[in-house]
Structure 1
């Protein structure tokens, strides 16, 4: 009887250890490639309407959705379908990630909407009304400096940023041929957000409030 119970106990412990092993498997995240891909996306999709060159067309910004797919500086001034063809043979993970993300309608839509908000957000960052969190989101620091409608705009901005971060997480799993499970997405989502935030901190202007990875707020 005792021998049988011992066998059951050993079997149960082995099963538990096996389950834990599955849960704790680390998912590969190409941090450097993701960082460069984010930079490329910002360069080709994040446009400030206030800085628009006279005569230059920026389709979709007025309506909130791009009518024409963007062009990547990584491959020169070529249509997106040509970019996709070249990306299939590209050795660079960053190039492939940038093309993959630029081909997602939800990502181009998010960037078009972020471009529309950019002038006002720049003003609010400059005044100290808002800061950049360590997840790359916009955080209110001085509500008294906000105008009517600003809080709703900030919420919409954060939602757009979450779309970009979530899409990067999915794209990295696809690029690295890893199965898209809730556990895998959960692991790469945090890394995707941290990399997005790092890029945003580097792009922040002097005087803007930014939150470091340890949670401390500082002025750049």
Structure 2
């Protein structure tokens, strides 16, 4: 009898453990993709050769309004949660504008084939043709600055949607796909195997 009770308790413990392990964390892929598309459209503009307006006259405000209720529909949302969301949305706007400003300086280097979008969605110097030493140093600084801003942007997108930091890789992957898909013809992108090709 004692042996049987011990077996039942062991089985119950295993089932309880399995139930805990199989809990899936919801990842809002569609919302992240919408964010990526809105932000990348704002940065690239309708014509990558022309300067874009850094003001939020585009779709970003509608995206920010879109994520606010979805991120806050959990029970017992507090005022501090809402305040945190507002701060995050403001941070996204600022980061987007920083990337847009860098982008305007980087367009000639995209068009000349000096830089490309790598398989991780970040910028990379791939060709120094036509660049002087000071030009190369300036491009490297811009690339580093832009890539750092992108990392911060992904973290803020995660914060705005209450996505755990452990899921940043998924956000980065979605943005990578959008950066590359929306890049104009003639720009260089790196495929998943590490090969560079001209769009």
* TM-score interval, normalised by the smaller of the two chains: 0.5 to 0.7
Query: What's the offset of the Cα at 1:185?
Result: 2.1
Q: Give the aligned partner of residue 29 of structure 2.
A: 31
Runs ≥4 residues deviating over 4 A: 20-26, 44-50, 83-87, 100-103
Matched residue, 1:152: 141
Unaligned runs of 5+ in 2: 71-84
How high is the TM-score relative to the length of structure 2?
Answer: 0.65
Confirm or deny: 8 A CA contact 1:128 1:208 kept in the other structure: yes
**Maintained 8 Å contact 2:88/2:159:** no
Q: Equivalent residue for 1:185?
A: 165
How many residue pairs get aligned? The number is 172
Distance in 1 separating the partners of 2:171 and 2:23? 18
Q: 1:127 to 1:49 in 2, by over 3 A?
A: closer
CA contact (8 A) 2:88 2:160 kept: no
Deviation at 1:148, TM superposition (A): 3.6
- Structure 1 residues 193 and 107: CA distance shift in structure 2, 3 A: same
2:76 is aligned to none
TM-score, with structure 1 as normaliser: 0.59
Deviation at 1:200, TM superposition (A): 0.6
SS in 2 for 1:136: coil
